[in-house]
A and B are shown apart, each in its own frame.
Chain A
Amino acid sequence: MQISARRLDKTTIFDVTGDVDLATSPELRKALLHELRDARIPRVILNLKAVRYMDSSGVASLVEGLKVSRDSGAKLILYGLTPSVREVLQLSKLLKIFEIYENEEQAISP
């Protein structure tokens, strides 16, 4: 898994590629918590277009990021879910809880 950050005005976009699994999800968690809790960025957007696989630890990291964003009044937005990621979130009953968009324009515009 690789994460690269694009920092716009009051928004950070993370482009995530590869597998988010037990070995790599701590990195995703760290990046999310840094932007949301330490840097207090009001909006963090995750581009998951290139994520082939996400396991429970990846889901748990997203959940923790969401919790932190809600606590600090920030927004955590996902877009570009691949069918497998969508399914994992569906199984965890989280599809309706996250703010999810199809593409980057929609994710940035609101």
Chain B
Amino acid sequence: MELTAQIGGSVTDGLAYLGSLASLSSRAAYFTFVAPFRGKPLRFRQAVSQAMQAGVRALPILSLITFFIGLILALQSAYELRKFGAITFVANAVAISMTRELGPLITAIVVIGRSGSAFAAEIGTMRVTEEIDALETMAIHPVDFLVAPKFLAMVVMLPCLTIWANSMGILGGALFGVTRAGFFFSRYAHASLDALFLRDIVTGLIKSVVFGITIAAVGCHEGLSTGTGPEEVGRRTTRAVVVSIFLVILVDLVFTALFFFIGGG
């Protein structure tokens, strides 16, 4: 009894949490897509500066990480493939796992670490210093002012970063291909492109858009839910990172399964 009650409790808590994320996302979507047609200008400048912060500044670290991931993928798949004398399929293995899975996922995780946590910390601090209250007493909606630009930036930047991450991963694989599997660079690149279907790239990008929404929703929701006291900000920031990683992987699973069943792989 006790256990079932506990499980039931956590399930309803979890659903309630997802519900509040959905409501925050829909309000952000309203302020991004509907309100501009009702005479409330879109906060384009803020969105651009958020996109710079979340996207462009993430490039160096993201490039390095995905380059290594590509290299690791090549090493791991070569380990198996060489038993079958199929080491030239390394290019295919790296290209497909990067674009369909690891590119979007690693990008999301890097962005969670850099931006999801920053959203929670920024908005949480504004809660503590009464800046959110100040917005409300000035009749400015905090979702409109703070959350919507972050959503827009995330939805636009994550796919862009993912494309970059895919390329860097393939480049990492090429390092192995050229030095250890006897590829010329141009042939490796060709083999990678031949292995990919448009579908692979598109499914990865669809996922990355949903990841972007998830990261923005969790980061902003945790920030807005911050109570009083500076120690709350730290707790909420940590929570934002943990919950985002969990939800991104959950979303990944759902979409991968979806693509598997509707696309036959």
Do A and B touch, yes or no (CB under 8 Å, in the complex)?
Answer: no
